[in-house]
């Protein structure tokens, strides 16, 4: 009985001593090792090198967690310059540009009628009129191919600027692709009809025309096998036609030779 009480008191004293030594030395180490008497002490190599092996019994040191170590690097997308950046803010709106009273009014009213307080629709309409003025045939031309291409170009560039900020807008992306296809068809027809006008239009509107691919079909194994079979059948048919032509030529040559012989005998 007395031996059990003596062992318990000895264990309590040793635990108290370890607790005190661990707390004191952890304060000396700068708080890097915290006193935990119930666990065995561990110390990482990086912290050992940083603290100069100051971790002692009764303290546990953990390496700080590395966050976002698997996150990929984000690539910056090229910034598209706005087509409306060349419009000066002092320019009047399109509705008031031809009004003579707007030219002689005071500065406050002129600022209210200028592009400084205009919305995006007014700016886009003015830019569209500028592009039309570059390519139209005369002052009353509003339905030629050049004017249609200019209107579609302004609309496509506006969609591109919008999708750069809102890349998940699928509806406007679909409208942009439809406008691009429509412009490609118009440019293709204009290139076939009048090549000089086509080159001048592309130069004035800063358009790069790319040729469409020769074939739009998606390549599959079934289609490749079918195409190979069709080519093989075509070559076989051409071979049979060539043999038939040779036989017809030989027969025709034989008939001509027979008629020549009969003519000579008759003479």
Residue 192 counted as domain residue: yes
Helix axes 120-135, 195-205, angle to 10 degrees: 150
pLDDT value, residue 151: 95
What pLDDT, on the 0 to 100 scale, is given for residue 11? 59
What does the pLDDT read at residue 33? 43
| The predicted structure's pLDDT at residue 184 | 94
Confidence of residue 81 (pLDDT cuts 50, 70, 90): confident
Would you tell me how many other CB atoms lie within 10 Å of the CB of residue 144?
16
* CA separation for the pair 151, 201 (Å, rounded): 13
**Which of 152, 184, 205 delimits the end of a domain?**
205
User: What is the mean predicted confidence (pLDDT) over 89-113?
Assistant: 84
CATH number at residue 123: 1.10.287.10
Clarify whether residues 129 and 52 are in a common domain. Answer: no
Q: Is the pLDDT of residue 41 over 90?
A: no
Beta strands in the chain (DSSP E): 34-35, 59-60
Closest to 54 (Cα-Cα) out of 43, 70, 66: 43
Q: Given a cut of 60, is residue 88 above it in pLDDT?
A: yes
Answer yes or no: is 49 within a domain: yes
> Would 39 be classed as within a structural domain?
yes
Q: Which residues pair with 35 in a beta bridge?
A: 59
Asked if pLDDT for residue 13 goes beyond 90, the answer is no
Q: How many domains does the chain have?
A: 2
Q: What is the reported pLDDT for 205?
A: 93
pLDDT higher than threshold 50 for residue 43? no
What's the domain range around 174?
119-205
């Amino acid at each position: 009985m007395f031996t059990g009480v003596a062992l318990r008191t000895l264990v309590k004293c040793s635990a108290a001593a370890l607790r005190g030594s661990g707390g004191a030395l952890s304060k000396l180490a700068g708080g890097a090792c915290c006193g935990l008497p119930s666990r065995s002490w561990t110390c990482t190599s990086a912290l050992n090198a940083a603290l100069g092996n100051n971790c002692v019994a009764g303290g546990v040191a953990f390496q700080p967690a590395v966050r976002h170590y698997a996150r990929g690097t984000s690539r910056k997308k090229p910034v598209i310059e706005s087509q409306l950046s060349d419009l000066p803010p002092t320019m009047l709106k399109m509705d008031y540009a031809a009004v003579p009273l707007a030219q002689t009014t005071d500065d406050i009213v002129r600022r209210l009628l200028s592009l400084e307080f205009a919305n995006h629709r007014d700016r886009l309409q003015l830019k569209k009129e500028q592009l039309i003025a570059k390519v139209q045939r005369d002052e009353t031309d509003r339905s030629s191919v050049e004017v249609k291409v200019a209107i579609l170009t302004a609309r496509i560039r506006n969609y591109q600027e919008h999708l750069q900020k809102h890349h998940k807008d699928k509806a406007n992306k679909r409208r942009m692709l439809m406008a691009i296809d429509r412009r490609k068809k118009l440019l293709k027809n204009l290139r076939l009809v009048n090549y000089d006008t086509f080159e001048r239009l592309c130069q004035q509107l800063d358009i790069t025309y790319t040729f469409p691919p020769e074939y739009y079909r998606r390549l599959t194994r079934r289609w490749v096998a079918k195409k190979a079979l069709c080519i093989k059948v075509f070559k076989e048919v051409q071979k049979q036609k060539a043999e038939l032509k040779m036989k017809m030529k030989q027969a025709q040559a034989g008939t001509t030779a027979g008629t020549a012989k009969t003519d000579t005998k008759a003479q």
